[in-house]
């Protein structure tokens, strides 16, 4: 296990109903880093998270959290060091939000502090069965954070959150990670994910196809050219100047007014798509 | 972080059904007592007193509902994941829940005893608690003995329902299955025993036959139906409770989450 890792998995494989879900998955989460886990639906992202938490067993390979091996039979380290939100918030409809948090901690100050930061405070006295999807999600996130865990695993935390709440969550994650908390977050909303993560892991069909820092990923991807016209914007991929030339000729022939030509920096989606395209080409 | 036991106590005390059950039990028990107010046959009043004015029978329904829903709800709400993360193993979670449900059952039995005594003093003041009734014992001893035997029966029911509920993810279905299996099970047990007792004597040891423990204590002729002595029914009750609890714990621990 790398020295500064809080979590590492070594070639974990797992099957569910004789279907291979994870294939030799080896990942390492750096201490204090915010790591994004992305991949298409059914890639195995939630299965990786559940394996780390000791919720499911793996057929082969090992999982270590804070240097201790984790299995469904032995995972006391998880109880001490990890908070999680997996497959939706784990909540009881007959309890209020405050009662949920009170079950986890006696520190009222901490309950109020986290709830304030996610705009949850005014909902705390109400029973959870009356909460909206987004409010339930916020409660689930606070439950994951409430005991100051060293590692927080969040599976699609932005589901159901409005833009303001998403920003509040982003600010909270950034603040906690500066204090040394490690985050492992899966999300399909790449535009939001890239604002908070330091590292990215791509999972596809149960295999890790990429594991790198965001900075390195951007360095290896290219920028896009954007032609801004009176009729909208046209993007040219991969600094393809011959395509730029053709587009300019087409626009001029159509007498479309060209306002500006500029570079647009790559975003996470572009970078990943480019990486995956290159990766697939190499494999073929 | 609070321990699993504290969390389970918290959940149980905050569920509406925990308290509405007590209210329903009180109302139904008092109703039966009121219906006996003008009863002229003192033996009938003594019978109802010693059986807690049918409180123990109503308690059977409540035990099934509370046991089934308390086990299944963790899978229904997806909260089993958090519980497993917070505890060392799933046996701890299951054991804690069963312990709590068993304590709730004992609490309700004590509640019925106190309620029955209250009804006696308010509505049947002339009833003499020290007067001999069945088994050459006083009325109050009969009440306490019935309560004690019913506790054993309730533990068996809890274990059977826990086993069934460990498979379920829906509280309503678990409750329905629990009720169905418990009541149909007793009827089926009678049928099977009556038709097969000579060919397969071991059928008398089926778990549903053990639920006749209290009836047999109240009516010794019941052994012609159960084909076991009261002592054998008690031992069978304890053994089957242990077997069903172990099976339920294994199912609970192996379930996919």
**Set of chain A residues whose Cβ sits within 8 Å of the Cβ of B88:** 75-76, 79
**What is the nearest CA distance from A276 to chain B, expressed in angstroms?**
32
Whether B11 and A79 lie within 8 Å, measured CB to CB = no
**Set of chain A residues whose Cβ sits within 8 Å of the Cβ of B171:** none
- Residue listed under structure tokens 């139906």: B225
What is the rounded average pLDDT for all residues in chain A?
90
Query: Which of A56, A78, A95 lies at the smallest CB-CB distance from B85?
Result: A78
Task: List Cβ neighbours of A128 (8 Å cut-off, separation of 6 or more).
Answer: A91, A92, A93, A94, A95, A96, A97, A100, A136, A139
Residue A62: pLDDT over 60: yes
Containing A233, the helix (H) or strand (E) segment is strand A232-236
Q: What is the pLDDT of residue B148?
A: 94
What is the rounded average pLDDT for all residues in chain B?
91
Q: What is the pLDDT of residue A113?
A: 95
**Set of chain B residues whose Cβ sits within 8 Å of the Cβ of A104:** 1-2
In this predicted model, what pLDDT tens digit does every residue of B140-173 receive, in sequence order? Answer: 999 999 999 999 999 999 999 999 999 988 889 8
Q: What is the pLDDT of residue A86?
A: 94
Residue A186: pLDDT over 90: yes
Q: What is the pLDDT of residue A167?
A: 95
Q: Determine contact, residues A146/A84, Cβ cutoff 8 Å.
A: no
Confidence band, pLDDT 50/70/90 cuts, at residue A222: low
C-alpha B29/C-alpha B43 separation (Å) is 18
**What is the nearest CA distance from A189 to chain B, expressed in angstroms?**
24
In this predicted model, what pLDDT tens digit does every residue of B202-240 receive, in sequence order? Answer: 999 999 999 888 888 888 888 888 999 999 999 999 999
Query: Which of B6, B16, B81 lies at the smallest CB-CB distance from A90?
Result: B81
Q: What is the pLDDT of residue A239?
A: 64
pLDDT, average across residues A34-43: 93
Q: What is the pLDDT of residue B1?
A: 47
Pairing of strands A5-16, A60-65: antiparallel
Distances (CA, A) of A150 to A172, A235, B131, B221: 15, 42, 68, 66
**Set of chain B residues whose Cβ sits within 8 Å of the Cβ of A53:** 81, 85
Confidence band, pLDDT 50/70/90 cuts, at residue A241: confident
Q: Determine contact, residues B22/B55, Cβ cutoff 8 Å.
A: no
Residue % of chain B over a pLDDT of 70: 98
**Set of chain A residues whose Cβ sits within 8 Å of the Cβ of B10:** 99, 102-103
Q: What is the pLDDT of residue A75?
A: 84
Residue % of chain A over a pLDDT of 90: 67
- Classified as helix, coil or strand, A44 is coil
Backbone phi, psi, residue B189, to 5°: -60, -45
Read off the pTM. 0.85
pLDDT, average across residues A9-32: 93
Degrees, nearest 5: CA angle A132-A136-A139: 140
Whether B16 and A53 lie within 8 Å, measured CB to CB = no
In this predicted model, what pLDDT tens digit does every residue of B88-121 receive, in sequence order? Answer: 788 999 999 999 999 999 999 999 999 999 999 9
Closest by CA position to A199, among listed A184, A177, A209: A184
Nearest CA in chain B to A17: B256
pLDDT, average across residues B4-28: 94
pLDDT, average across residues B6-24: 94
Q: Determine contact, residues A27/A48, Cβ cutoff 8 Å.
A: yes
**Set of chain B residues whose Cβ sits within 8 Å of the Cβ of A90:** 77-82
Q: Determine contact, residues A99/A126, Cβ cutoff 8 Å.
A: no
ipTM of the complex: 0.84
Degrees, nearest 5: CA angle A15-A17-A22: 20
A190-193: which pairs have CB atoms within 8 A and are 24 or more residues apart? A190/A38, A190/A267, A190/A268, A190/A269, A190/A272, A191/A267, A191/A268, A191/A269, A192/A158, A192/A166, A193/A36, A193/A38, A193/A268
pLDDT, average across residues B14-37: 92
Q: What is the pLDDT of residue A283?
A: 65
In this predicted model, what pLDDT tens digit does every residue of A250-277 receive, in sequence order? Answer: 999 999 999 998 877 677 787 777 777 7
Query: Which of A72, A73, A90 lies at the smallest CB-CB distance from B79?
Result: A90
In this predicted model, what pLDDT tens digit does every residue of A108-159 receive, in sequence order? Answer: 999 999 999 999 999 999 999 999 999 999 999 999 999 899 999 999 999 9
Q: What is the pLDDT of residue B43?
A: 74
Interface of B with A (CB under 8 A): 1-2, 6-7, 10-11, 14-16, 73, 77-82, 84-89, 256-257
Residue % of chain B over a pLDDT of 90: 67
Query: Which of B14, B80, B86 lies at the smallest CB-CB distance from A99?
Result: B14
Q: Determine contact, residues B43/A123, Cβ cutoff 8 Å.
A: no
Whether A55 and B89 lie within 8 Å, measured CB to CB = no
Best residue in A101, A103, A104, A127 for a mutation probing chain B (most B CBs within 10 Å)? A103
Whether B1 and A78 lie within 8 Å, measured CB to CB = no
How is residue B209 written in tokens?
């036959």
Query: Which one-letter DSSP state was computed for residue A127?
Result: B
Query: Which of A79, A86, A103 lies at the smallest CB-CB distance from B81?
Result: A86
Q: What is the pLDDT of residue B181?
A: 87
Whether B16 and A94 lie within 8 Å, measured CB to CB = yes
Per DSSP, the residues of chain B read ---HHHHHHHHHHH-HHHHHHHHHHHHHHHHHHHHTTT---HHHHHHHHHTGGGHHHHHHHHHHHHHHHHHHHHHHTTTHHHHHHHSS-HHHHHHHHHHHHHHHHHHHHHHHHHHHHHHHHHH-TT--TTSB-GGG-BHHHHHHHHHHHHHHHHHHHHHHHHHHHTT-S-HHHHHHHHHHHHHHHHHHHHHHHHHHTTT-GGGGGSGGGGGGHHHHHH-GGGHHHH-S-HHHHHHHHHHHHHHHHHHHHHHHHH---
């Amino acid at each position: 296990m790398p020295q500064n890792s809080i979590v590492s998995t070594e070639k974990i494989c797992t099957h569910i109903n004789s279907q291979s879900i994870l294939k030799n998955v080896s990942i390492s989460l750096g201490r204090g880093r915010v790591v994004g886990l992305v991949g298409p639906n059914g890639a195995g992202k939630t299965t990786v998270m559940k394996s780390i938490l000791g919720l499911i067993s793996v057929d082969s390979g090992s999982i270590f959290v804070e240097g201790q091996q984790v299995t469904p039979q032995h995972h006391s380290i998880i109880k001490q060091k990890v908070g999680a939100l997996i497959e939706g918030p784990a909540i009881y409809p007959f309890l209020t939000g405050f009662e949920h948090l009170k079950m986890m901690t006696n520190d009222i100050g901490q309950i109020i502090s986290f709830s304030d930061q996610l705009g949850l405070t005014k909902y705390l006295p109400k029973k959870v069965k009356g909460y909206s999807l987004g409010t339930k999600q916020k409660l689930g996130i606070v439950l994951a954070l409430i005991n100051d865990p060293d590692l927080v695993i969040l599976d699609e935390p932005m589901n159901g959150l409005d833009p303001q709440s998403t920003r509040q969550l982003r600010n909270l994650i950034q603040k906690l990670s500066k204090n040394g908390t490690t985050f492992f977050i899966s999300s399909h909303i790449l535009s939001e994910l890239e604002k908070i993560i330091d590292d990215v892991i791509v999972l596809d069909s149960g295999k890790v196809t990429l594991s790198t820092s965001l900075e390195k990923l951007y360095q290896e991807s290219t920028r896009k050219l954007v032609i801004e016209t009176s009729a909208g914007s046209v993007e040219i991929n991969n600094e393809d100047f011959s395509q730029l030339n053709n587009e300019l000729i087409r626009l001029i022939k159509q007498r479309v007014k060209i306002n500006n030509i500029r570079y647009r920096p790559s975003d996470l989606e572009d970078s990943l798509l480019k990486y995956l395209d290159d990766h697939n080409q190499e494999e073929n | 972080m609070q321990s699993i036991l504290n969390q389970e106590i918290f959940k149980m005390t905050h569920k509406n059904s925990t308290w509405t059950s007590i209210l329903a039990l009180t109302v139904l028990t008092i109703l039966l007592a009121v219906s006996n107010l003008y009863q002229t046959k003192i033996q009938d009043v003594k019978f109802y007193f010693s059986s807690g004015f049918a409180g123990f029978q109503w308690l059977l329904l409540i035990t099934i509902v509370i046991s089934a829903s308390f086990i299944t709800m963790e899978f229904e709400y997806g909260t089993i994941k958090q519980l497993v993360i917070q505890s060392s193993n799933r046996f701890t979670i299951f054991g804690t829940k069963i312990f709590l449900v068993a304590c709730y059952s004992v609490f309700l039995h004590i509640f019925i005893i106190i309620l029955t005594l209250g009804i006696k003093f308010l509505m049947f003041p002339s009833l003499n608690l020290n007067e001999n009734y069945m088994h050459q014992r006083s009325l109050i001893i009969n009440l306490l003995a019935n309560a004690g035997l019913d506790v054993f029966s309730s533990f068996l029911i809890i274990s059977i329902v826990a086993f069934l509920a460990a498979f379920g993810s829906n509280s309503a279905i678990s409750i329905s299955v629990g009720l169905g299996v418990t009541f149909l099970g007793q009827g089926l047990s009678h049928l099977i025993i009556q038709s097969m007792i000579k060919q397969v004597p071991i059928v008398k040891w089926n778990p549903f036959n053990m639920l006749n423990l209290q009836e047999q204590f109240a009516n010794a002729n019941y052994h012609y139906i159960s084909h076991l002595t009261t002592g054998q029914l008690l031992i069978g009750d304890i053994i089957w409770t242990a077997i069903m609890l172990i099976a339920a714990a294994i199912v609970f621990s192996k379930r996919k989450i």
